[in-house]
Copies of this chain bind each other. A is one copy, B any other.
Amino acid sequence: MENYSRTKALFISVSVDCVILGFDGKSLKMLLMSRKGKEENSDYNDFKFPGSIIYANEDLDLAAERAVKEITGLKNIKLQQFKSFGSPDRTSNPRDTRWLENATRQKVGRIVTVGYITLIKMNQVVGTFSKEYDVKWFDVTDETVKLAFDHTLILSEALKEIRRQVTYNPVIIFDLLPKKFTARDLRMAYSTLFSKNYDVRNFYKKFIEGEKYIIALEEKERNVTHRAARYFRFDRKAYTKKHSVVR
């Protein structure tokens, strides 16, 4: 066990941070909380993913659910742990340490954070956000948004993970779409997730016509200026049958 003895006793905290993604029909959105603070010569206002340091008797998943509920007001969100971040310089920015010590009323040293991710249907959460915190949707590509700590890294890792999952197991992209969606909605979701343009015809052939689990409905769009498009729905049963995990 000799190697263990080289371990320094660390003053360390563990937190959770939750990347909540949505899709508004045009672009991929992330839900951020505003962070305001004072500095020597100025105030600042930047943003972070909803999160919290874990409580004494809290499991990681519980802490993530609690943080999301308290900060955003969203309940029963299916959070998925995707990666932990523990670089020693996560808290090297004095602004972050100061803000956190002020917020937690405790000395903050090194923090290892466990990243969670979830995709939600934006149309189902309109107006449900808690008033206590200032949370808003932002384009994931919005470069004017300054993220605290290493949350820029957490975002890029979260997007990598989602792209990987959608590539191998497209099911989760339907978590971003309304229950009824048009071919264009699905194409735009892929397009914004993979920052890639898809030829309308080819996309339809490859991702809709070809897939038994995407069911065309009788219903079409209403009150639209362009030609009303047909709605589709995702059939989870048909999908599961095709993609059963144990081959």
A91 interface contact, C-beta 8 A: no
Residues of A126-169 contacting chain B, CB below 8 A: 132, 163-164, 167-169
Provided the pairs A194-B247, A247-B167 are in contact, do residues A103 and B1 lie with their beta carbons within 8 angstroms?
A: yes
Smallest CB separation, A226 vs chain B (Å): 26
Q: A114 — which chain B residues lie within 8 A by C-beta? A: 84, 86, 112
Nearest opposing residue in chain B for A85, CB measure? B60
Q: A1 — which chain B residues lie within 8 A by C-beta? A: 102-104
Interface 0/1 of A17-55, CB less than 8 Å to B: 000000000000000000000000000000000001111
Contact between B132 and A2 (Cβ–Cβ < 8 Å)? yes
Stretch at the interface among A5-13, A211-219, A233-241: A5-13
A14 interface contact, C-beta 8 A: yes
A189 to B245, CA, bound (A): 16
A88 interface contact, C-beta 8 A: yes
A71 to B164, CA, bound (A): 32
Contact between B4 and A53 (Cβ–Cβ < 8 Å)? yes
Provided the pairs A2-B132, A190-B247 are in contact, do residues A86 and B54 lie with their beta carbons within 8 angstroms?
A: yes
A124 interface contact, C-beta 8 A: no
The complex is assembled from copies of this chain, and their number is 2
Q: A4 — which chain B residues lie within 8 A by C-beta? A: 52-53, 100, 103-105
Residues of A159-195 contacting chain B, CB below 8 A: 163-164, 167-169, 190, 194
Smallest CB separation, A143 vs chain B (Å): 21
A83 interface contact, C-beta 8 A: yes
Q: A107 — which chain B residues lie within 8 A by C-beta? A: 9
Smallest CB separation, A9 vs chain B (Å): 5
Contact between A56 and B10 (Cβ–Cβ < 8 Å)? yes
Provided the pairs A54-B86, A60-B84 are in contact, do residues A246 and B163 lie with their beta carbons within 8 angstroms?
A: yes
A245 to B194, CA, bound (A): 10
Contact between B10 and A13 (Cβ–Cβ < 8 Å)? yes
Contact between A3 and B54 (Cβ–Cβ < 8 Å)? no
A203 to B42, CA, bound (A): 67
8 examples of A-B residue contacts, CB within 8 angstroms: A1-B103, A3-B67, A4-B104, A5-B103, A9-B107, A14-B14, A60-B87, A112-B112
Interface residues of A (CB under 8 A from B): 1-10, 12-14, 52-60, 66-67, 70-71, 81, 83-88, 100, 102-107, 110, 112, 114, 132, 163-164, 167-169, 190, 194, 196, 206, 245-247
